[in-house]
Structure 1
Amino acid sequence: MAFSVFKRPARLTKLQIWVGKCLAHLLIAGALVWQFVQGFSDNLGADPVQSLLDFTGQHAIHLLLFTLCLAPLARFTPCGDLIRYRRMLGVYTFVYALAHFSTYILFELQLNWPLIGSELVKRPYISVGFAALLILLALAVTSFNTLRKKMGKSWQSLHNWVYVAVVLALLHFSWSQKTIWAEPIFYWLAAFIILLPRMQYALRARKQRQRRRKPA
């Protein structure tokens, strides 16, 4: 039973959900556009490409972790309607990750395709990050209700790959920083705290399946 300090669940009206989504679009999309405008205006310091890479990469992780927070927040707080924002934030996670990768191949490697292929093969942290991007692409494409209905039970199996994407994204970030300490460790701790209830649930479900399989 979800914890609630209220006698009744707090519900959001359609207008409140719509206004909340509009504000989220303005904030998330606006921040991304503004950062690139600043970059093209040469207002991001001595290394604007690195500033864009840092901004898009770290905020992709922020959005990914926040998206994973929405299910437990909807479950354990009075407002279950928070889950209505999950698809939107998940798609924006992919958008930021794509902007991160696009910045790298457009401005850092300047669309040098042989070099891009070489980087993907020779630099493991780039391969790991690219794998995370492909997972996020698959999740974003299949996030819409029409595809969800068509896919049936396989939809949930596919979207469980978001947990793999979290690990790969944090590996990519830690590898790029050349350390797991300092800033990356806080991301790992946040991910562990967010995923801990899911891991506990998975372990309980596994034990229950094992008990059912045992002969009476």
Structure 2
Amino acid sequence: MNFGRALLHPAAKPLVFVLSLLPFAWLAYGAFTNNLGANPAESLIRSTGDWALRFLCLTLAITPLRVMTGTPTLQRIRRMLGLFMYFYVVVHLLCYGGFDMGFDLAEIGRDIVKRPFILVGFAAFLLLTPLAATSFNRAVKALGAKRWQLLHRLVYAVAALAILHFFWMRAGKNDFAEVAVYAAILGALLGWRIVHRLRGERQKRLKAAAAP
């Protein structure tokens, strides 16, 4: 059985779901067993943010992989990966709001305004929320395919905000190695989309010019 056919197996989506939940389960286990280092709260905040960024990369990688490998069944797991990205963003926000701010909404509001990297991260969360809320078939039908696609292009802005959030967070320690890696990955994924779209438009123009 090849990879494309394997994705059609009834167990494929449950397996992806379980694998996507493993990082959260591992972090929860580490928290309950006091095995997250000297600063468990910071470890949870950083780790959930890292996993949100990783799932963002995985989600954006699906379309290029689908096109380049000729595996249309990859599309079946893109929505789930995107929702897990949002899940880890929400957990990341809850860890920050709970451990750093004690769920003091007034203090959280002041912190968002005061610290640019928090503001940028919160803006990314706000942009992601309507995408998660409309990631179902009924939403596609209600919005119409074109409007739905236009709305979901906000993920590109989210990617830029996520990198900026990560960059400013690491600026205090002057540690940009991981930032550069994620920026390169997301830049390549977004760059591929631009090139692919330009090629598609060029082919359409050539076909139109060649038509009798």
**TM-score (normalizing by structure 1):** 0.85
Aligned position for 1:199? 194
In 2: Cα distance, 1:10 partner to 1:118 partner: 49
Aligned position for 1:3? none
Q: Secondary structure at the match of 2:70?
A: coil
In 1: Cα distance, 2:13 partner to 2:75 partner: 12
- The answer (yes or no) to whether the contact 2:7–2:74 under 8 Å persists in 1 is no
- Per-residue CA deviations over 1:41-93 (Å, capped at 9, x if unaligned) read 32111100111111110110110111111011111113210111000000000
- The answer (yes or no) to whether the contact 2:170–2:176 under 8 Å persists in 1 is no
What's the offset of the Cα at 1:14? 7.1
In 2: Cα distance, 1:87 partner to 1:27 partner: 15
Structure 2 stretches of 5 or more lacking a match? none
Aligned position for 1:170? 163
Structure 2 residue corresponding to 1:187, chosen from 182, 185, 188:
182
Spell out the pairing of 1:200-215 with structure 2 (5 A cutoff).
200-203=195-198
In 1: Cα distance, 2:136 partner to 2:198 partner: 29
Aligned position for 1:12? 5
Aligned position for 1:102? 94
Q: Secondary structure at the match of 2:103?
A: coil
Q: Does 1:121 align with 2:116?
A: no
Structure 1 residue corresponding to 2:64, chosen from 52, 55, 72:
72
Spell out the pairing of 1:122-137 with structure 2 (5 A cutoff).
122-137=114-129
Q: Does 1:41 align with 2:33?
A: yes
Q: Does 1:149 align with 2:141?
A: yes
Aligned position for 1:84? 76
Structure 1 stretches of 5 or more lacking a match? 1-8
Q: Secondary structure at the match of 2:5?
A: coil
Q: Secondary structure at the match of 1:12?
A: helix
In 2: Cα distance, 1:208 partner to 1:119 partner: 50
Aligned position for 2:13? 21
In 2: Cα distance, 1:170 partner to 1:184 partner: 7
Choose 119-128 or 25-34, whichever is displaced more.
25-34
What's the offset of the Cα at 1:158? 0.4
**TM-score (normalizing by structure 2):** 0.87
**For residues 52 and 204 of structure 1, do their structure 2 counterparts lie closer, same or farther at Cα, with a shift above 3 Å needed?**
same
In 2: Cα distance, 1:208 partner to 1:38 partner: 53
What's the offset of the Cα at 1:22? 1.3
Aligned position for 2:151? 158
Q: What is the letter of the counterpart of residue 46 of structure 1? A: A
What's the RMSD between the two structures over aligned residues? 2.4
Once the two structures are aligned, what percentage of the paired residues are identical? 38
